Structure formats: structure tokens, C-alpha cells
Amino acid sequence: MRNHVNHYKCPLCDMTCPLPSSLRNHMRFRHSEDRPFKCDCCDYSCKNLIDLRKHLDTHSKEPAYRCDFENCSFSARSLCSVKSHYRKVHEGDSEPRYKCHVCDKCFTRGNNLTVHLRKKHQFKWPSGHPRFRYKEHEDGYMRLQLVRYESVELTQQLLRQLQEGSDLGASLSESSLQGTILETVPGEPGPQEEAEEEEEGRGDEATALSASQDTPSPVIHVVNQTNAQGEREIVYYVLSEAPGEPPQPLSPPQGASWKSFGE
């Protein structure tokens, strides 16, 4: 749940990570085809032991996981099935918690909301981020997270790459990194205005905005870019000065999203 500033950029894609170790993991999982862990029973293989163990559970005839609630006989072949059973049956937690921030429709599971966001509202993934993330709000609902934190250097590098439209540069050296916070707010106007963002091609695309009360006013770079799928998308890069803690959820532009305007 903690927000992190992403200082480390993957040289092979747009992924950014808060730590060298997480970047290393990213590169191993995302950019390596090595699958050292192999299943003896079938041709499955994977990149770590945990996943292999999960897979082995699927071979066992008997359910490997039991509900430990008293006198409950529920069992399943995956831990997450038991967990969700426990929440639903023994904790009475059956109300849909995942809420669409566009139309307020609620869903019981995140991936079902993901399907809704993609089908109904034409959401796409931001480049370098393989999935949607959901964040718990004050009202207890999980909503799509629209902000990520990166360093100023990374922002400027990304902006430069976007302007040049050329290949990805090398990853940043550790010494050049500062504690400054950047938020990336991929955006698109709400369902109302169907957005015609024409070229804001004049040299500096930065727009100054004043954020909420306490936070220093961030600078928002509005970038009209083409993502990996060749679709247009609008991205807001927000730089703020606060060095330590990420600022309060300065409300993103209404309806901000990763919607694209292609198809």
C-alpha cells in the first residue's frame, strides 16, 4: 500500500522500479526466457520455486488446502480458493468491493472489473505496466490506481524519449538519482467530452497547475504519445517538490485513464 518513487528504469521497456532489486527481478521475470524449475509430471516449467509448488498442487488428486474454521469441511486445490471461501462464508464479506471509477458499478473481483474497464470504457494498459492496479480508498472501495511515482530524472528521460520517438536509452546510474517525486497520471477526459487532443507540439508542453492546499504546485507535462501497440494515448507527468512522502492524492483530472483514441 506504500507509495514508492521509481528511480530505476528497465533498459528494455518502460517499466520503472523503486529499487535495484525489484528492477533485477523485473528483468528476470519479464525479459528472460529461462525456466529452470520444471515439473516432473508434465512439460510445465517456470521461473521460481513458489510457482512450481503451486503448479504441483494442481497434480494432486486430493485438495491440498483446507479451511481451518471450526467444523468447516471446505477444501480446495488452491490456497486462494480457500481464502476467498473464508472471507465470503466466515467473514460475511460478500459485497462487491471493486468499484469502477467511471460508472460506479461494483464487482466482486478485480479481474472482473478489469474486463469491464477494457470492454466498456476501452481502457488500455500503460506501456511498461503489464496490468491494472487497484487501490483501496477511504470508503473501502478498490478503484483503479491512476498514479505512479518516478524520479525527476526518469521523467525527463521519458519525456526526451517520447519527443525523439527513438530507442530506449540506457538505465540511469544510481548516483544521478534524487528523492524528488514524480507522478505519472495517464489521462483522458471523462466520458462526456470525447477528447480531441491535437498537437500540443510547441516546444514546452508543460502546464503549471496548483494542486491541493498543502502540496507545492506541481508541474504537469502533457504528452501525446504512441504506445507499444501503436495507439495514441495521453499521459500527464506530474513533478512535485516534496522529497519524502508522496503527497495527498491530489485529485487527478476527472476521468483520467489509459484510454486510447485509436480503434
Residues near DNA (CB under 7 A), total? 49
Q: Does 231 bind DNA (CB under 7 A)?
A: no
Neighbour-count burial of 45, counting CB atoms closer than 10 A to its CB (0-12 exposed, 13-18 middle, 19+ buried): middle
Evaluate whether 3 touches 181 at the Cβ level (below 8 Å): no
Q: Which of 78, 161, 215, 226 binds DNA (CB under 7 A)?
A: 78
The whole-angstrom separation of Cα 23 and Cα 30 is 10
Q: Which is nearer to DNA, 44 or 219 (CB)?
A: 44
Smallest gap, in angstroms, from Cβ of residue 178 to DNA? 20
Q: How far apart are the first and last CA of the chain?
A: 34
Q: Does 107 bind DNA (CB under 7 A)?
A: yes
Q: Does 84 bind DNA (CB under 7 A)?
A: yes
How many C-beta neighbours within 10 Å does residue 87 have?
13
Q: Which of 77, 189, 224, 246 binds DNA (CB under 7 A)?
A: 77
x/- contact string, 45-64, with DNA (CB under 7 A)? -xxx-xx--xx-xx------
Smallest gap, in angstroms, from Cβ of residue 164 to DNA? 26
Segment interacting with DNA (CB under 7 A) among 99-107, 157-165, 195-203, 206-214 = 99-107
Amino acid of residue 115: V
Query: What would the grid cell of residue 115 be?
Result: 474486463
Q: Does 224 bind DNA (CB under 7 A)?
A: no
Segment interacting with DNA (CB under 7 A) among 18-26, 177-185, 209-217, 252-260 = 18-26
Smallest gap, in angstroms, from Cβ of residue 190 to DNA? 18
Q: Is 184 helix (H, G, I), strand (E, B) or coil?
A: strand
DSSP 112-178: HHHHHHHHHH---PPTT--S--EEE-TTS-EEE---EEE-HHHHHHHHHHHHHT----PPPPGGG--
x/- contact string, 124-153, with DNA (CB under 7 A)? ------xxxxx-------x-----------
Of 23, 14, 20, 8, the residue nearest 168 (C-alpha) = 14
Q: Does 15 bind DNA (CB under 7 A)?
A: yes
Sequence length of the chain is 263
Of 255, 260, 252, 179, the residue nearest 220 (C-alpha) = 252
Q: Which is nearer to DNA, 108 or 176 (CB)?
A: 108
Instruction: Write out the residues near DNA by the rule CB under 7 A.
Output: 4, 15, 17-18, 22, 25-26, 29-30, 44, 46-48, 50-51, 54-55, 57-58, 76-81, 83-85, 94, 96, 105-112, 114-116, 119-120, 130-134, 142
